[in-house]
Amino acid sequence: MAASESEILGRLRHVRRLTRGHNGQERWDAYCPAHETNHHSLAVARFPDGGWMLKCYAGCTQDEVLGAVGLRVIDLVPDSGSQNRMPKGHNGRSMEYNRMVRMIAQADRENGRRLSKKDKDLELSAWVSLKATGEAE
C-alpha cells in the first residue's frame, strides 16, 4: 500500500505545493535528500490512484532518493484495490503513471539532461502502453 502524504512529504525538506497536473495528479517539489543541495531539484507527484513518483532532476536515482529517507519502492505503489479501479495500460501501470513518465522524460530532454538506459526503457514501456490505447503521438 502506498505511503500517506505525511509519510512521503514529512521526510523531505523545503517542500512546496505546485499546481495540479493536467491529469489530476497532486504535485510538489523539494530539496533532494540524496545529495547536498539548496535547490528544489526533486519533483514529487501523487496520482489519483494513490501511487507516488519521485524524480530528482540533478540525477539521483529513485533508489537513492528513497534510501535517503528510509522508504522503499513498495511505499510508492497504490494498493491493489485502488489500482483495479484505475484504467491500466498495456504495461500494467495506470495511464496516469504512463503519462507522467512521458512528461518527465520529455522535460529532461528539453532541459538538456541525458536519460539513463533504465529511464529510456521506462519511457519506452510507457509510450507503448499509451500507443496501444491511442494516447501517444
Same domain, 70 and 92: no
| Angle subtended at Cα 108 by Cα 102 and Cα 109, rounded to the nearest 5 degrees | 90
Question: Which ranges of the chain have pLDDT less than 50?
Answer: 82-86
Same domain, 48 and 71: yes
Structure pTM? 0.61
What's the pLDDT at 5?
92
Cα 96 to Cα 115: distance, rounded to the nearest angstrom: 21
Write down which residue in 76, 95, 114 finishes a domain.
76
Cα 62 to Cα 88: distance, rounded to the nearest angstrom: 22
